[in-house]
Amino acid sequence: MIMKGVVLYKTNGPLVVEELEIPSLQDGQVLVKILFSGVCRAQINEIKAHKGPDKYLPHTLGHEASGIVEETGPGVKKVKKGDYVVLTWIKGEGIDAPSCTYTTHKDKKKINSGAITTFNQYSVISENRIVKIPKEVPPDIAALFGCAVPTGVGIVKNELKAKKGESLAIFGIGGIGSCVLLGAVSAGVSPIIAVDINSDKLEFAKENGATHTVNPKEMDIKDVVAKIKEITNNEGVDYSVDCAGIPLMIEAAFDAIKDTGTTIIAGNPAYGEKIRITPFDLIKGKKIFGSWGGSVKPDKDIPLFIQDYLSGKLKVDKLITKTYSLDKINDAIKSLGKGKVIRALIKMDYARSTIDK
């Protein structure tokens, strides 16, 4: 079978839409017809080789999507043909299948792929990256349950265990930061302080439950911390989450918490970058750690978060700011890189906005 898929041939791109041949399925692999795929900052980091030289070139991309199961390989028990699913990079239950290799139809070049990639019309996915979901969830919304929602909401609910009346500052209102915000709102966290240099994003945060906004572009970074302390009666916030991946912001996020507070790093600073913090703050009781997908167990947590969405508690529909066709993938990456969209979505040309029951 032949499909359209996006290939990264060299670091810094551009991405190339190719006709790719799909190999036959091995143990634990599932062939999924992709409906919508999210575009995440992680892919920009991959394109730019932010974590070091890219040893997998050429390769396919993408790590959150919605789709329909087309075929299952030997040993797959979790899903069957026709199931409506979320695809996530976060490992869950089931077989951890080997990565697949596609072949270009034109010149039979080998194209590497991970356990999950989603910028393709079809994708060979490892069984442990798939979660079956109810058909009530529109497929564009469903795609966001692969990375942005579990990471952002997982940070609030699983890692911080933030409760009603506790305070939170979010540094960077992109895809993950917005989901941290939505998760915090659904948990009754207040005040919620949104920090971003983009005034449109601060406006978005305010419309979706942030009680205060701070723009570091308008002040010295020290004043950002002072402003957050001022909002919280000079104590500092209970929690701060960095979604910007900028060392200076991570340091400010840590300086802005109270002595018993916790900072979580969810942004991805470039490999080799360092932060400076005061060790005495750690001795006094401040905590700082990094998040790996919001410590989410996909098979348990994604259905829970979907329930919160369906009941109206978690307003995931607010996140979708722009949808592109697969052919416009380079435009989607560019807009996301420039901070023009919160979360870009790729819509496959055959995808509809609802799933037949």
Among 8, 42, 149, 316, binds Zn ion (CB under 5 A): 42
Q: Which two tokens stand for residue 265?
A: 């790093």
Find the part of the chain contacting Zn ion (CB under 5 A) among 25-33, 142-150, 161-169, 265-273.
142-150
Residue 216: what are its φ and ψ, rounded to 5°? -65, -15
Rounded-to-integer distance, Cα 319 and Cα 328, Å: 20
Site string for Zn ion, 92-131 (x = CB under 5 A): ----------------------------------------
Beta carbon nearer to Zn ion, 73 or 92:
92
Among 25, 40, 173, 252, binds Zn ion (CB under 5 A): 40
Q: CB of residue 234 vs Zn ion: minimum separation in angstroms?
A: 36
Q: CB of residue 286 vs Zn ion: minimum separation in angstroms?
A: 28
Dihedral angle of Cα 214, 220, 225, 228, to the nearest 10 degrees: -30
Find the part of the chain contacting Zn ion (CB under 5 A) among 26-34, 139-147, 194-202, 317-325.
139-147
Rounded-to-integer distance, Cα 100 and Cα 84, Å: 22
Find the part of the chain contacting Zn ion (CB under 5 A) among 26-34, 114-122, 146-154, 267-275.
146-154
Find the part of the chain contacting Zn ion (CB under 5 A) among 36-44, 191-199, 233-241, 293-301.
36-44
Beta carbon nearer to Zn ion, 63 or 227:
63
Beta carbon nearer to Zn ion, 252 or 314:
314
Q: CB of residue 319 vs Zn ion: minimum separation in angstroms?
A: 13
Among 69, 76, 86, 147, binds Zn ion (CB under 5 A): 147
Q: CB of residue 63 vs Zn ion: minimum separation in angstroms?
A: 5
Find the part of the chain contacting Zn ion (CB under 5 A) among 15-23, 38-46, 122-130, 333-341.
38-46
| Count of CB atoms situated within 10 Å of the CB of 97 | 22
The answer to whether residues 187 and 163 touch, using CB atoms and an 8 Å cutoff, is yes
# chain residues binding Zn ion, by CB under 5 A: 3
Rounded-to-integer distance, Cα 259 and Cα 237, Å: 9
What angle (nearest 5°) sits at the alpha carbon of residue 297, between those of residues 293 and 300?
A: 135
Report DSSP letters for 253-303, one per residue: HHHTEEEEEEEEE-S-PPTT------HHHHHHT-EEEE-SGGG--HHHHHH
Residues 6 or more apart whose Cβ sits within 8 Å of residue 94: 28, 76, 77, 78, 126, 127, 128, 130
Task: Compute the residue count for the chain.
Answer: 357
Site for Zn ion in 236-295 (CB under 5 A): none
Residues paired with 212 in a beta bridge: 193
Looking at beta carbons, which residue is closest to Zn ion?
Answer: 40
Beta carbon nearer to Zn ion, 103 or 158:
158
The residues binding Zn ion (CB under 5 A) are 40, 42, 147
